[in-house]
Every structure is written in C-alpha cells, then in structure tokens.
Structure 1
Amino acid sequence: MQSPFALESFVGRGASGAVYKTRWGGQPVAAKVFFHSQSDLYEKAIQKEISLLERLRHRHIIQFLKTHEEDGQIYLLMDLAENGSLASAINTKSGGGQGLLLDWPTKMRLSREIARGLEYIHHEGVLHRDLKSANILLTRHMEVKLADFGLAQVRQSMSTGASMSNSSAGGVGTVRWMAPELFLEKPKYSSKSDMYALGMVMWEMAANCTKPFQDQPNDFAVPALVKDGRREVLPDDTPAQYRELVKQCWHQNPAYRPDASKAALMMDDEPTEEGRTVDEDCSAISITLNTNGPVVGQG
C-alpha cells in the first residue's frame, strides 16, 4: 500500500521516536515515527503518549492531529513547529544549530511560556519528566510548544486542581537535567522535579549553551555532583529576577522550589539590565560547588 504521505526533512529525535516534516491534507505537519520494539511495555508507552497528547490542549503544548498506522508502523501527526527546537535555536557549535543570540526579554518570555505549559500539564495531573531545550519547540512566531511526552507520567489519583506534593516513583529523564532527588536510592519524581529542569533550560538560554556540566565528559559523575549541591553558574549579565528564579528552581529541597504558576509570574516583568553576550563555545561558563546550597553566579 502506498503511504498517503512522504517523510521529508528530519526534525529531531526524542525518547521514543524520530520526528520528520511531512504533509497531510496538503498542509505541512510533523510526523513522529516511533522506534521499533518487540516489547509490550514499549507498545504500552506509545499508547500512553498518544492518549496524553489527545487530551492535552493548550497554547504551549504541541498540538496532536491524528495517528496513522501502516505496515505495523505507527505515525503520530502533530502541528509543525517551523523554528525547530529551542536547543537548535541557542546551540552555536553542534547539531547545525542556528545560534540565535536571544536577548533577555525574549529569554524571559520563553521562560514564562515554558512555565505556563508546565502549569497546564501539572494541573492536568501530568509530569513531563524529560524537560530540556531539545524537547521544547518554537513556532514560526517563536512561541513555545512543549513536546516529547514519551517519558511523561499521569497522576491517575490526582483530581483536577489538587496539589502534586505527593510524588511518584521514578528516576527517568536526561541525566544532566535531572533533579537531585531523582538520584536517591529511592527516587521520587514530582512536579518540583520538572521545575528543577526548568532552571536547567533557563541556564541553557542564559549561557547560550545546551550541555550542562561540560567539564564532565560523560554522565556517570553528574548524579553525585548534583546531589552534593553543585550547579552551573549564570553569566554576570543575567537579570536579577531571572537569576532568582533559576536559583529557586535549583533548590536542593523540592519543597522550596516554586510551582509553575509562580515561575510564570516571576518572568512577567521586563529585565532590569542587559549586558555582554556569553562566549559562543560556552568557555565563559564554569561550575561551582557550595556545600551550603546551590550557587548560580555572583551577586
């Protein structure tokens, strides 16, 4: 049987599949092609991601269109985010990134939109569990769309609007964006773990760098460093309110991190100052250790 659509350019790769640009009904869309697996658990994970996207409807969540199955292959069709991922927008050295030097008002707006997307999914009882710049898409008008819910978890027991303080078991995600509590012997994932990851994404934008802990060549040493309170350092020109939100998101104790609603409100104001541009190869960024808590820069 001939496919009703043809995969065009490669867009990106997520936790459960690769994404391509294609056309459906004459319109450009994105098609997620799930990786092949014989595992029943993997098949259930695919269905979970599809069911999640079917019910999530928000300005800052990627819009699900439909699924298509052909020759045993499942395609998930979504709105196309023409500007690709946030990682591509800020990455200057690898992966063919556009290397956009976003100004501080734009970084604050994008942070606010990410927080609004998190606010919505947390209210719906959903934990993203893999928030990073590579999983944040940008539309033609540079508007945020949270994407790749392959590792997301639904809080079935949670009523709409209830607190998410009761955490759920898990230790999944991308190591360099994961909160310290996820590296414990009995990891616990909560909405506040997503907020820690928001802080990491904000650091990516501030530093114009998409690889945290660059002094660590592999991921193996990162968990111990993060559990000990080690954090990245924000550039000197970081606006005060931006710096403060990152600091709060990075708190060692999840209970002291802001929720997504507070984070969005903290990014409503215009930045108080602007300054120099960070060196594009991230060499201006260092990492520090503070045994009394996380450090995010001077001042």
Structure 2
Amino acid sequence: MVLLCHDIVGREKLEKWKFAGSGAFGYVYRARHKVWKYVVAIKILKDGARFTALDKEVEHMDKASCDYVLSVCGIFEGFPPYEGSSMTRGIITKYMDKGSVQTLLDLPSPPPWPLAVRLVHEVALGMNFLHDKKLLHGDLKPSNVLLNEDLHAKLADFGLSRVSASASNSSREATGEVGGTSVYMPPEALLDHFIKPHHSFDVYSYGIFMWSVFTGKEPFPGACRLLLEENVGREKQRPPCHKLKERNEKGLKKLVALMIRCWDQEPANRPAFGECLDDTEEVYLMHEAKVRKAVDEVLDSLDPHSNTSGSIRQTQEQSEPHDTVDNIRAGMFSRQESDTVSTETMSEAAKAKFVDDNILVLIQEVSNVMAIVQELGDMVPREIRKTIEHTLNDEEKMRELFHTALHSGGETVKAAFYTALKIHESKLVKQLSTISSS
C-alpha cells in the first residue's frame, strides 16, 4: 500500500496550526513539524471522500517526483484541529509560502517577462515529465502551480482534483455550474461531459495558462459554463491577443504562436509538451540572465512591508479592467429589461433583481465578502458563516453565500445583501447600475 512508503505523522508532531485555504478536495492547513523544524502544508480530504482517493494521489505524486512537481513529505493521520472532527488522513508537503501563480495574477501588472518565460518553461518541464510517466494533470491552472521562495514553479493537485469533484457535490467542478476551472477546459470537454480525458486536454489548459501568465489576467472573468460552451466550444473563441501581440518582448512572437497552437480547436493539432519545450527553452535561454532581477522585483511587490506596496495599490486602482471575448461580456451584462429606478428609492424586489442580474459579476468582483456577511447578521446561519470563513478566496466565499443564504432567503435576503453591498462595494454597485441603465 502506498501509505507505507511515507512517514505517518500524527497531530502530536505538529504545532502552530493555521487554516490556509480550501477547495473541492477539502481543506489545507499550515503547521510546523516539531521534529523536522520547518513549516508544512496538510491537505485534508472533505468528509465523505474515500481514503483510496488520497492513496492514489500520493502514488501519482511519487511517480511524478521531480524538481517541478510538489513532493510528498508524509501522511497525516489523526484528528484535525477543528471542532467535531473525525479521524482522517491527509497529504503533507512542504509549505509554499509564496502562494501560487494565481498570487502573481492578483498583482496590478503581469509578471516581468523573464520571470513569465521561466514560469511557462518550468510548467512545461513538469507537464512533460507527468506525461512521460503516463499521468494526466487534469486541472492545470494558475492556482495549481505553486511557487517556492524563489518563485520556481511546482505542479500540484493532479489526480486529487478529479477525484474530489466526484466526491463533493458542492464543488463547482462537480456540478458544472459556473466558470472557475471551466475556463481552462478544452472545447471538446466543455461540449461533452462524458469524454475521456486525454493528454491534449492538458496541452489546451497550458495554452490558456500561458495567456494568463503573459497578460496577468484571468480568462473570461465571470463567464458561466453555458457561455463557455457556446463561445469557446462552438464559436471557437479564445482570450484576446491583440494587446499581447503589441508588446515588444524578445521571443514573444514565438511563444504566442505556441500558445495559439496549444489551444487549437482540434486536439490532434495541439503539440506534445516535448515540442512545447523546444520553444520555451529557446526563449528562456534568451532571458535567463535577467530572471534573478525579475524575481527580486516581484518578491518586493509581494512584501506587504515593502516601500513599493503603496504605489502598487495605487496602480491597481488605476489599472484597466480585464479583457474578455466580446460575446461573453455581452452575455454577462445582457438584461431582459431596463431598471432605471433610483437606487435610493428602490423596492425590495428591484434590489433582489439587481443581485440576480449581476450575480456572475458579483461573484467575480466582490472582495469584502465577510464584511457583507456581518451586515447580514442572522440572515446567514452560523454553520453557513463558518463554511464561508473557511473557503479559499473571495470568489469562493461569494459563490457559497449565493448558493446558500441568498438562494434560500429569497427577495428579503437579496435586498439586504444589496444594501450591504452599497456600503462595502459602492464603486462596483455604481458601475453595474450604470451598465444596467445604459
């Protein structure tokens, strides 16, 4: 059994537990190992997930062990540090304190070109190794590419992400309800829910991943699965490249051409990762000498105590909105009818309609979720509040709030949500009101 290959670590060997995030698979904690003397991450499966799923994930991670894939340090076995927990298992890895590539996308500007090139090259190296071992990733996206202290890429969450989607009906990947992982999904998978995964799936996801790294943006923000099926699957649309092609970076044209080949509509036309590496290595070697400076620049930006942090926030406020495909954006903002009632005199029904009409954008853009939850008070039951607190990021928090308290509470709760939204997200409400009445 695969677990016998690794140390079994009980809770007594871990200290300074801290919640670090959650996803479809379960929960991630960070803790310090008392014997190893360094900080680790413990990924614990949600209740109901099979231990055999975890065993399979560990087996895959061991098989794919290389410099560009996150390694297993041990297996947690015991009681997690939350009330009412039961005996469970988890995967222990080294804690990646710089987050993931998604962390870089949250900065106001794209990663400096030398670092961006190294990231896509290292991900291609990791993916080529996985495929050579006859493994698929199945969920390649920025949040599943972790970063070490020097911003080197480490692939994570291959295998478990697919298992957890079937083990948790609450995951958006399982239900296929809204965006998220779907924006990195190839057109053939969007159109056929039962299609068998293939290596070409990962290559397509890699093409979209490249676009995200080069632009510093999320593709198709807020787009639901149905819009993606129509525009990406049937209409063959892809993230916009016109601004990217205008940049004057050495090797950019070669990598953009590779990116476009990777997201080709026809799976057979997509290159293998070995072919991708021919191009990424060539461009990386052009910029290798400048990578250290680029890394230091980004590390300085990520430091909250840095002297540049204030200017970064100012730049972020002035930065332009995400590019999206025109048809998808039109779908996001289309209205059945115009509601021009003044926001000061809006009825409860009108407020609820505003929330329903804009829910995709609200899920994507609202950042003060917990402050809004506090405003709603008892309208959000305690157990739901705890679940929201323990979700991965603001988008997941909003999604959880929408599918629970807002959905079951009807017009009254949605109207209260709108009122709280005006207090904590006034700029967003103003923007959406302008679009709605135009």
TM-score, normalized by the shorter chain, greater than 0.5:
yes
Q: 1:222 and 1:124, CA in 2 relative to 1: closer, same or farther beyond 3 A? A: same
Residue type of the alignment partner of 1:227: G
Mapped partners of 2:117, 2:157: distance in 1: 22
Q: Which residue is 2:150 aligned to?
A: 141
1:29 paired with 2:44, answer no
Mapped partners of 1:267, 1:279: distance in 2: 33
Q: Which residue is 2:25 aligned to?
A: 16
Deviation at residue 213 of structure 1 after TM alignment:
1.0
**8 Å CA contact 1:126, 1:152 repeated in 2:** no
Q: 1:65 and 1:111, CA in 2 relative to 1: closer, same or farther beyond 3 A? A: same
In the TM superposition, 1:147-226 aligns within 5 A as: 147-149=156-158, 150-151=160-161, 174-185=181-192, 186-210=194-218, 212-214=219-221, 216=223, 218-226=224-232
Q: Which residue is 2:136 aligned to?
A: 127
Mapped partners of 2:322, 2:161: distance in 1: 33
**Which has the larger Rg?**
2
Mapped partners of 1:280, 1:136: distance in 2: 28
Measured against aligned partners, the alpha-carbon deviations of 1:51-103 in whole angstroms (never above 9, x if no partner) come to 212332101000111102114121211122221111012213xxxxxx56411
Q: Percent identity?
A: 24
Q: Which residue is 2:113 aligned to?
A: 104
Further displaced range: 3-12 or 66-75: 3-12
**8 Å CA contact 2:110, 2:214 repeated in 1:** no
Deviation at residue 252 of structure 1 after TM alignment:
0.4
Q: Which residue is 1:156 aligned to?
A: none
- For CA contacts below 8 A with separation 6 or more, give which structure has more relative contact order: 1
Mapped partners of 2:63, 2:142: distance in 1: 23
SS at match of 2:149: coil
Mapped partners of 1:244, 1:279: distance in 2: 32
Q: Which residue is 1:91 aligned to?
A: 106
The alignment's TM-score, normalised by the length of structure 1, stands at 0.77
Measured against aligned partners, the alpha-carbon deviations of 1:141-161 in whole angstroms (never above 9, x if no partner) come to 1111000121359xxxxxxxx
Query: Higher strand proportion, which one?
Result: 1
Name structure 2 gaps, 5 residues minimum: 1-9, 80-86, 164-174, 288-314, 328-438
SS at match of 2:14: coil
Q: Which residue is 1:166 aligned to?
A: none
Measured against aligned partners, the alpha-carbon deviations of 1:97-135 in whole angstroms (never above 9, x if no partner) come to xx5641112111110100110000111111010000000
Measured against aligned partners, the alpha-carbon deviations of 1:32-67 in whole angstroms (never above 9, x if no partner) come to 122111x5xx33322211221233210100011110
SS at match of 1:52: helix
**8 Å CA contact 2:191, 2:229 repeated in 1:** no
User: Which one of 303, 320, 323 corresponds to residue 285 of structure 1?
Assistant: 323
**8 Å CA contact 2:131, 2:199 repeated in 1:** yes
Residue type of the alignment partner of 2:44: V
**8 Å CA contact 1:181, 1:188 repeated in 2:** no
SS at match of 1:83: coil
Mapped partners of 1:249, 1:176: distance in 2: 15
Q: Which residue is 1:158 aligned to?
A: none
User: Which one of 56, 77, 94 corresponds to residue 69 of structure 1?
Assistant: 77
1:58 paired with 2:66, answer yes
Mapped partners of 1:280, 1:177: distance in 2: 28
The alignment's TM-score, normalised by the length of structure 2, stands at 0.54
Residue type of the alignment partner of 1:257: R
Mapped partners of 1:109, 1:89: distance in 2: 14
How large is the Cα RMSD of the aligned pairs? 3.0
**8 Å CA contact 1:127, 1:190 repeated in 2:** yes
Residue type of the alignment partner of 2:323: I
SS at match of 2:283: coil
Q: 1:279 and 1:190, CA in 2 relative to 1: closer, same or farther beyond 3 A? A: farther
Mapped partners of 1:280, 1:117: distance in 2: 36
Name structure 1 gaps, 5 residues minimum: 93-98, 154-170, 290-299
SS at match of 1:243: helix
- Figure out how many residues of one structure are paired with residues of the other and give that number: 259
1:233 paired with 2:240, answer yes
